[in-house]
Structure 1
C-alpha cells in the first residue's frame, strides 16, 4: 500500500475527528464525503476526502507498513 500524501496538519485532524465520531465506519464516512464533493463538482474537496480515507486505513491498521528499521 502506498502511503497517502498529506500537505498539512488539517488532514490528520480531519481523520482523527472522523475516527472519534464514526469509529470503525470512519473510512466509509470519508468516502461518502468524497463522493458528495465529486457530485457537486468540487474536485479539491474530493481529493482531500479520498486522501483522508486512505489515511484512516493507515491509522487503524495494527501491523507496521512500509520500511521498518
Structure 2
C-alpha cells in the first residue's frame, strides 16, 4: 500500500503517514527500523505494510516508494 509521510521524529524514529484517502496512520520505531530507512521527510511517498483493521490497524513496515 502507498501513503505519504506526514510526521517523523528522528529521536524516536516514529511518526505518521497519510493514506491516500487522507486517513492518518501512526507508525512506531519497529516499523521504521524494519524498512531500513535512515531518515524520512514529510511529503515523501512511502510504501507501507499494514496489519489489523479499524482501530487495531497498524503499520508493520515502511520504506520509500520507488518508481
TM (norm. structure 2) is 0.24
- Larger RCO (CA under 8 A, 6+ residues apart): 1
If each structure's strand is expressed as a fraction of its own residues, which one has the higher value?
2
Larger CA Rg, structure 1 vs 2: 1
